[in-house]
Structure 1
Amino acid sequence: MTDIPRRAVARTAKLAALPLGFAGRTVLGLGKRVTGLASDVVSAEIQQRTAEQLFSVLGQLKGGAMKFGQALSVFEAALPEEIAAPYRQALTKLQEAAPPLPAATVHKVLAEQLGEDWRAKFVEFDDSPAAAARIGQVHRAVWKTRAQAGLPVAVKIQYPGAGDALLADLKQLSRLGGMFRAIQPGLDIKPLLAELRERITEELDYELEATSQRAFHKAYAGDEEIFVPKVVASAPRVLVTEWVEGTPLSQIINEGTEEQRDRAGRLMAVLHFSAPARAGLLHADPHPGNFRLLPDGRLGVIDFGAVARLPGGHPEPIGRLVRLALAGDAQAVIDGLREEGFVKQTDDIDAQALLDFILPMLEPVALDEFRFTRAWLRSEATRLGNPRSPAYQLNRHLNLPPSYLLIHRVTLGSIGVLSQLEAKAPYRSILERWLPGFAPIP
């Protein structure tokens, strides 16, 4: 048996053991089924132990488990503080670190992808990885150029067998819904897993990622607020890009100043809403490990493996319906949502009740300035996730059209990061500039 199958078997065994440990704790702790609000049914001790085990195992894995863990980690701000605190540090590690590949394996992949003379392309190459991506790891190096010093670069190398690992891990993770509901009731992981599975093929192709990054780089060339590193070289499993020197958002979340957190949040919002108009693409992986605050104040953006292709920019109905909701036009809002497929034509839903359901979510763009906080996000998660609340009951009647699924996930992920940053910014004015259909509010 080769090393790769052995690691796959070990990974599957670790994932498979998670539900057993959770079941044991549930039986020993309460002996009843986990339903409704966690605070009503499940003890804090069971929640804490489940979370610790879950993220400990995810943090040891590559492939789909690490990828899913990173995607989930942006929602940490929505968890109750007494539950989130014990493993917030483990979540942050998921965004920046993973067990490294041996140097010999790294060299083999480089030789296969860049040629046997791959070393001649570099002035320097550090065998120790500088960071871990979702399906690969990043090495710091100096690319050989005409300039004597060369060009500092990041070399992203895909894990051997990453495709098989992604599929196997995602299949295992689909069985863990009960564990995630224990940590955050109302969090439905099935759509997230399905969407992640659909994008596996794209994200495994580093040449496709290079094409997306080149489009972003061109769109933001010379920009005073957003920096996208240029692509130096690419192959199906190796991507070489300009090195980005800056402070990771995970560090700013933990110890950044208020000014740094506010600036990072504002620039993330600018990127989110301007990229579809400027590049025809939406950066679709908004976890803190993919962003850096540069010394000159710009937001450095990396990892373009996951993008949404929006050649016409953000869909105009989003901005128009947000504007109508803020104006209090309940009938126009429900008519627009029916037209877009969010509300079924046959469902009898009260227009004003639907507007009352939507408006709290739009608070960040109803004001001239808004500060996202963990408390605000937790309150919304509780409102929407409590089976006893009117919002929960109404939400069950709403549909998410497939064409909006990725935009929805990216928006939720971005809100999670903004709430971790607790960033204050004029979000409404950003939408007024970049979101089609969102006219200035009187």
Structure 2
Amino acid sequence: MPLEPNRAIPRREFVRSAVAIGGASALSACLDAEADEDVADPGEPKFPQGREDFSALPERQHAWNDFMVREPSGDTILPQQQLLLFVEYTGSVPPTDDERAAVEDTLRSVERAYQRGTGGTSGATFLEGLLFLIGYAPAFFDRFDADLPPGIDLPDPATVIEQLEEDATPESVDAVLVLNSDYGSVLLGVEEALFGDVDRLNGVAVEGDFSSVFKKVERRPAVVGRGNPAKELDHDAIDEDAPMSMGYKSGFDDSNPAESRVTWDDGPFAGGTTLLASRLGIDLDSWYEFDEETRVGQMFTMDHTPEDIGRTGEALGADSGITEESVENLEKHAREHGCVGHSAKAARARDDDFEPLILRRSEGNISDPAHDAGMNFTSLQSGIEDFLETRKAMDDLADVEAHKSGIVDFLTTERRGTFLVPPRSLRALPSPRPDEE
């Protein structure tokens, strides 16, 4: 039965449902709901289109900051709708020129159809376009005779899980697409176009077809942003304005590195990076058993108070308030207060300039039948070792017994995947040694 908008259901709730379901009928209904008018042809333009001049686009697939909505404080805001598409490679080894052209033509059609994020518009309040990237797993490169260059730190996900001593499932796919927009119909339209189910996308003819070389294995939609978790998740304790299920904003400007920090400057994949994609479960029942003051202390530091951060962390602006002194005094605070904050613990994994090692690109909230809530967590880093260092910093301090320790005890890792994100010029089925082809 076709999905139809129900005017009794709030628009945002309906859009989330449509993205979760997927398919052509969901796309049409989602366009109808978001455009607030009947849609005769889902292929007709409803959003700003992209540029014809591809040379004007960044070579880095992950160069998003200049195309994201920003808070008045300057903090970037993650798009409200996210979709991860996990795919298996079914083409030739090595890929043929025609197969690479099919992938590149499809991605260029997407770039023509939608502007890159906000289009670079200063002061934009909505991300009407699309931010996306494609990354390739170690399993994809294992199909080739040649190995990745020795400087590429991309272990398989099973190795990451083993080092973290987690009971999690490694992703067995060959690639992942990360799609982000404030509009669910943008994501649904791209998904349909990638796999040849529509021939026009936002008024642009779709060239190429992923289905000739990729088989879709799994799709994982998620939402983030003020008010979305409370509407998405069946948990009464979540503040109605909270941008995250645990109540507080994330991704402060000072807790994310510059994009250049996670980008390779040289080598055959210069302009690229690595992506780690995780599926997490969250124990919200236990988290919300604590009072607000305790939750603030465990999320940030014991020096932070509810008055300092506001209801959902908005009073902090772009600065989390985590300093080098916060890290230096961590053991002292743990002994004095019986608690150490997550942000302070994670800050132990910073470089000599006190800059974080990983750039978080999504912390999307999802329903999870096995947990009170779930999360799509993706991060960019110059090497997976930087993620491992950051994740290990979240664990308890070895020589201090703290009664409460950040948020790590409320998180369960379900799945992890590791991926190489090539520069745009190599994103279509790259070989492990593109400089030798």
| TM-score (norm: length of structure 2) | 0.27
Higher helix share: 1
Higher strand share: 2
| TM-score (norm: length of structure 1) | 0.27
